[in-house]
Amino acid sequence: MKVENLEIDKVIPYFNNPRKNMAVEKVAMSIKEYGFQQPIVVDNNMSIIVGHTRYEAAKSLNLEKIPVVIANISHEKAKADIVIIAEKVLSGIIHY
């Protein structure tokens, strides 16, 4: 896994992010105090797959660059995987 420090403006938030109650302020405080402990994961189109709250926290801190992992998958593939996991959680196959 290669972590790259990319300009925040190159990263695109996924428009249909299901998380609505992001703890942006708390995550921003954590990033400010400890730095990034986990990179943001994006697809080949630079659209966020994982890390929307970290992205918003970084924006609130006016960071110019953020740690990013570019996953070699399309957003459609990532979305399909998320649906499969969600169905397993809801059916009780996987406990969250």
Nearest to 18 by CA among 59, 60, 54, 49: 49
One digit per residue, pLDDT tens: the chain, 96 residues? 789 999 999 999 987 777 777 799 999 999 999 999 999 989 888 988 888 999 999 999 999 999 999 987 766 666 666 655 666 566 665 554
Nearest to 55 by CA among 83, 82, 31, 80: 31
Prediction pTM value: 0.75
Q: Which residues in 54-84 are b (16+ Cβ under 10 Å) and which e?
A: bbbbbbeeebeebbbbbbeeebeebeeeeee
